Amino acid sequence: MATTQDFRLSPNESVLLIVDVQEKLMAAMPEAPRNRTLDSVHTLIETANRLGFPILATEQYPRGLGPTVTSLAESIPNFSPFEKMTFSCTGAGKFFSDIKALGRSKIILTGCETHVCCYQTALDLMENGFIVHAVADALCSRQKLNWRNALKALERAGAIPATTEQVLFDLLKVAGTEDFKSLSRLIK
């Protein structure tokens, strides 16, 4: 059972995980969810960059599905995605050892598809003691039923349901700071 402490986010405990937000895969998504997801992921990248917490990204079979969406990849310092063939990111080379080595317990989960790679990744991470915050507006699937069902299943499995705005303000904690002034403009 999740505790109040599990729900709280802080930059020093968090990792932003971007799962398979790739050119060809995103082109297969309906326009409205695709645009919502890309905008939300971009906001979370800017938040992570501003507040100084790590960003990890994966690419599912990049030879077939293409690279990460260029605008996102260009906004991540030292971008170096983990290539994978497994649906769960934990099966991607050094991904699991690298995420553990960061010494952080909270994963801000974004990407696609919600019901496949994101779902399996979240379950594997939670089985290994990580607290996963599933950011609904930064996750997508080709079909709304799959997206909605995966979010419900993740919550039942113990993931913390969240939105981009909720994550941003929880990380900020207070208004009036330079970080607040810089980041709050992203959600207007």
Going from N- to C-terminal start, the domains of the chain cover 13-187
List the catalytic residue out of 89, 112, 117, 118. Answer: 117
Q: Is-contact 125 158, C-beta < 8 A? A: no
The verdict on whether 20 is a catalytic residue reads yes
Buried b (16+ CB within 10 A) or exposed e, 121-149: bbbbbbeeebbbbbbbbbbbbbeeebbee
**Tens digits of per-residue pLDDT, 16-52?**
999 999 999 999 999 999 999 999 999 999 999 999 9
Q: What is the pLDDT of residue 118?
A: 97
Is 117 a catalytic site residue? Answer: yes
Phi, psi (deg, nearest 5) at residue 85: -115, -25
Catalytic residue among 84, 89, 106, 118: 84
Angle between helical axes of 119-127 and 144-157 (0-180°, round to 10): 10
Which pLDDT tens digit goes with each residue over 126-176? 999 999 999 999 999 999 999 999 999 999 999 999 999 999 999 999 888
Q: Which two tokens stand for residue 82?
A: 């983990």
Select 13-187's CATH number: 2.70.70.10, 3.40.50.170, 3.40.50.1390, 3.40.50.850.
3.40.50.850
